[in-house]
Amino acid sequence: MRAHSVSETSRAISENEGISRYPKSGYEAWNAWDKLFSYGDEKAHYFAGETRDLAISGATGLEIGFGSGDFLKWAQDRGAKVAGTEINSVLLDAARINSVELLPDDFETIAEQQVARFETIIAFDVFEHFIWTRWRRLDAAGRMLKPGGHMAPRFPNAQSPFGLVPQHGDPTHRSYLSRSVIEQLLQDSKLTVSRYGPFFRLQTGRAQKRVVRALRYWFRDAISAVFNTICATNIPWDPIVVLRKL
């Protein structure tokens, strides 16, 4: 969807071994977010596919670490009542201009006042930025979700060698995530895994682009199949998890 979100990044980094954080004025430039709160046809197609089993139109939604704001804008245009969390001042200013309700980046501090408020919570490329002591935010997000609602975290798959490139391409990543890690974190939780699989695959654009994408997907699947056969497992290349609140 987009490059990794800065939400919670500064807090996580400052709490871990003294590693300096990114300047608030530079992260959005590093991610090449030249147009905030905008999206094109491909992004719209991706968002629709990725949230196919989530409530969007007319729903109450929260994005944890909204980054460039493209998803929130897309959801707004479909009638969703949206809120978001961020820590980057440039992105926060853009959100205010676009009438996004802002919650504290340490939203676990206000979770009890937001119990069962949201039908959908999105966290694309965010949770890998948290150090383990911050994972109570997963519980906090669960409390803010309505019964029957869904939360969708997306992250590099630490169980797969194919997740190494995105995982190690951003020095602000602090945690290694996988399905087994998520399931352990969900023990004694009201959240359950309802979908775990690859990102939604785009089939849009000109014919040449579609062919190139199809070939890339084929090669990925072939390599992944060989790896899974050798390791006697079934690990998606690039997972997204959809959690449902009971």
Q: Measured between alpha carbons, how far is 98 from 94 in angstroms, rounded to an integer?
A: 6
Answer yes or no: is pLDDT of 3 > 50. Answer: no
Q: Which residues pair with 145 in a beta bridge?
A: 118
Question: Residue 202, SS3?
Answer: coil
For residue range 71-119, list pLDDT tens digits in order.
Answer: 999 999 999 999 999 999 999 999 999 999 999 999 999 999 999 999 9
Domains of the chain: which residue ranges?
9-200+238-245
Residue 48, H or E segment = helix 41-50
The DSSP letter of residue 77 is T
Answer yes or no: is pLDDT of 16 > 50. Answer: no
In this prediction the pTM is: 0.82
> What are the residues whose beta carbons fall under 8 Å from the beta carbon of 202, sequence distance 6 or more?
42, 45, 46, 49, 213
Pairing mode, if any, of strands 239-245 and 81-85? unpaired
For residue range 176-208, list pLDDT tens digits in order.
Answer: 888 888 888 888 889 999 998 888 888 887 888
Give helix then strand counts, H and E, for the chain: 9, 7
For domain 9-200+238-245, give the fold. Rossmann fold (3.40.50)
